[in-house]
Amino acid sequence: MDYNTFLDTVTRRAPVPPEKVEPLTRATLETLAERLTRGEAKDLASELPKPLKEWLVSPTPEARRFGFDEFVNRVSSQAGVSPHQAREGIRAELNTLRDAVSEGEFRQVMSQLPGEFEALVGVPG
C-alpha cells in the first residue's frame, strides 16, 4: 500500500475532517512508536512507505508503558482533534495498518499493546 492509498483509506474510515487525516496519522504512528519496542517499531516501519516509515522512529529502545486512554490523549493533543476523533482515528489507522502489513507483523504490534486496542479493532487476543 502506498502513502496516498493509506491516507485515502484512513479518510474513508475515520469520521474526521479530511485536513486532519495526515496530522492524525502522524500523531498515531509517532505515539505508536513510543509505545512499541524500538525493534518492533522498526519492523513495522519496514513494511510501510515513506513518510509513514519516518514517523515510526522509536525514541527509546524500550517501550514506554502507558495505557489506552493516555495513548488517545497524546494523539488528540498532537493532532489537534477531540479525544473522540482521536479514538476513531486510531481505530481507522490500526485497521488500515492491518491491511497494509503482513498478518504476522500486525499481530506482533498488537501483542505489545493493551487489550483495549484489540477490542477497538476487533482482533481476538
**What is 66-117 written as a DSSP string?**
--HHHHHHHHHHHHT--HHHHHHHHHHHHHHHHHHS-HHHHHHHHHTS-HHH
The grid cell for 119 is 477490542
pLDDT of residue 89: 95
- Residue in 24, 30, 16 with CA at minimum distance from that of residue 93: 24
The domain total for the chain is 1
If you compute the radius of gyration of the chain from its CA atoms, what whole number of angstroms results? Answer: 13
In this prediction the pTM is: 0.93
pLDDT of residue 122: 81
The parent domain of residue 29 ranges over 3-121
Task: Please report, for the domain that includes residue 18, its CATH number.
Answer: 1.10.490.110
pLDDT, tens digit only, all 125 positions of the chain: 999 999 999 999 998 899 999 999 999 999 999 999 999 999 999 999 988 999 998 878 888 889 999 999 999 999 999 999 999 999 999 999 999 999 999 999 999 999 999 999 886 54
The grid cell for 30 is 509517532
pLDDT of residue 125: 45
